Amino acid sequence: MAALPEPVLQTKPDTMAPLMPSTGRPYNPVVTLNGWTLPWRMNAGVKEFHLVAEPVVREMAPGFKAHLWGYNGQSPGPTIEVVEGDRVRIFVTNKLPEHTSIHWHGQRLPNGMDGVAGLNQPAIPVGKTFVYEFVARRPGTFMYHPHADEMTQMAMGMMGFWITHPKAKHPLIDDVDRDFVFLLNAYDIDPGAYTPKIMTMLDFNLWSWNSRIFPGIDPLVVRKNDKVRIRIGNLTMTNHPMHLHGHEFLVTGTDGGPTPKSTRWYEVTTDVAVGQMRQIEFLADEEGDWAFHCHKSHHTMNAMGHDVPTMIGVEHRGIAKQITNLVPDYMVMGERGMADMAEMEMPLPDNTAPMMTGTGPFGSVEMGGMFSMVKVRKDQKAGDYKDPGWYKHPAGEVAYEWTGSLPNPARFAAEGGKSMPVQNMPAKEVEVQVRKPMGNMKH
């Protein structure tokens, strides 16, 4: 083992600062949300990494930990960053209780390095170290995950991100000020339990970004007028329409690489299907704390039951009073909606996250799962990713209760120019004359 690069481990769930390249070709590094980038060593011109597949404990939210499988102390594993044209050598040591392999999802490489156990390589036995070596042939965003007992190992959290930066100025890849990456993953962990149920196919109860659930997901902190890139990979069992508030974005990259500029149009939601990657970019020109989440409403909830009856509109407080004589801790919930569950702060089993949670400056956010915020601040320093706290709204720019007469309208700071300039309008106004059809028009 002395000849191998020392395996670097990380157990904290914090978002680590970008890893600036100290050797090899220069590039602008990414920031892994609630994660980190794997260091490397240069050996005779080859960039060498060391991944360790092993059981890990991942804090999914404060007070809630899961027993998962991952790499180098984390699930997901660390992000690997290289430059187009780099010769890369990855040592993979197996500390799992069963064999494994690694598939380099989306990469162009020799067939014997593709990582499908039994098809183009023997599986990595327990306690053994295998070597993968290939050239990073094209820039883009890729993923890595096992291709051995995949149902178990991916359900247990084994996956990671791979970024190949362009070696020179690329006509389809713009420079950005902030570059975030995270993976969409999902688990089925019973309240009070620690280990995912690996046989679940549809009814997951924890929808996560980088194996974190809100309020455990860090915000994406940017400076006003930064150009921001977010790379999202989906290794769950369903699609996720990712929605950003307050801004429009372009889809600038997919699994196949950067998209042609002629195919890009502005969106506020883009769907990321199973096994896919989407790269979005936008100009962060509106200050505030902007929600960013999957738009499937059940994916912004934490552990919940799927067979709970709908009690909205059902008055059951009378019978509830009788039940409490027998069961003192019985609670009525669901007759007015599910917000009661967030407001009552009912006791939970140990090692469980509330279903609806998160407290903002105006009260409960009533969210969970795949939810976070893009925090845009004009006074955030370049390269500073620290959470600036809650946004302080200018006077008159918060919704308020109507109590009668309205004040005279004031000019808001938000009444700036149009967010998106009108394009392809005629040079002069055209008056359209419309004539109603009369009689037999021989249609």
Per residue in 119-136, pLDDT (tens digit) is: 999 999 999 999 999 999
Q: How far apart are the first and last CA of the chain?
A: 84
Per-position DSSP letters for 153-212, written without gaps between them: HHHTT--EEEEEE-SS-BTTB---SEEEEEEEEEE---TT--S--TT-SS--SEEEETTB
Per residue in 374-423, pLDDT (tens digit) is: 999 999 999 999 999 999 999 989 998 988 887 776 666 666 665 566 66
Distance from C-alpha of 423 to C-alpha of 238, rounded to nearest angstrom: 36
User: Beta partners for 66?
Assistant: 58
Instruction: Return all residues near 384 (Cβ < 8 A) that are at least 6 apart.
Output: 221, 223
Which tokens in the block code for residue 5?
């690069």
Q: Taking residues 321-337, report their average pLDDT.
A: 59
Provide the pairing of β-strand 371-377 with 288-294.
antiparallel
What does DSSP assign to residue 87? E
Mapped onto helix, strand or coil, the DSSP state of residue 405 is coil
Q: How are strands ordered across the β-sheet holding 269-272?
A: 220-223, 371-377, 288-294, 240-244, 269-272
pLDDT of residue 349: 82
Which tokens in the block code for residue 266?
């502005």
Summarize the chain as % helix, strand, coil (round to 5): 5, 35, 60
Instruction: Answer whether 55's CB lies under 8 Å from 11's CB.
Output: no
Q: Taking residues 158-174, report their average pLDDT.
A: 97
Per residue in 19-66, pLDDT (tens digit) is: 999 988 999 999 999 999 999 999 999 999 999 999 999 999 999 999
Provide the pairing of β-strand 220-223 with 371-377.
parallel
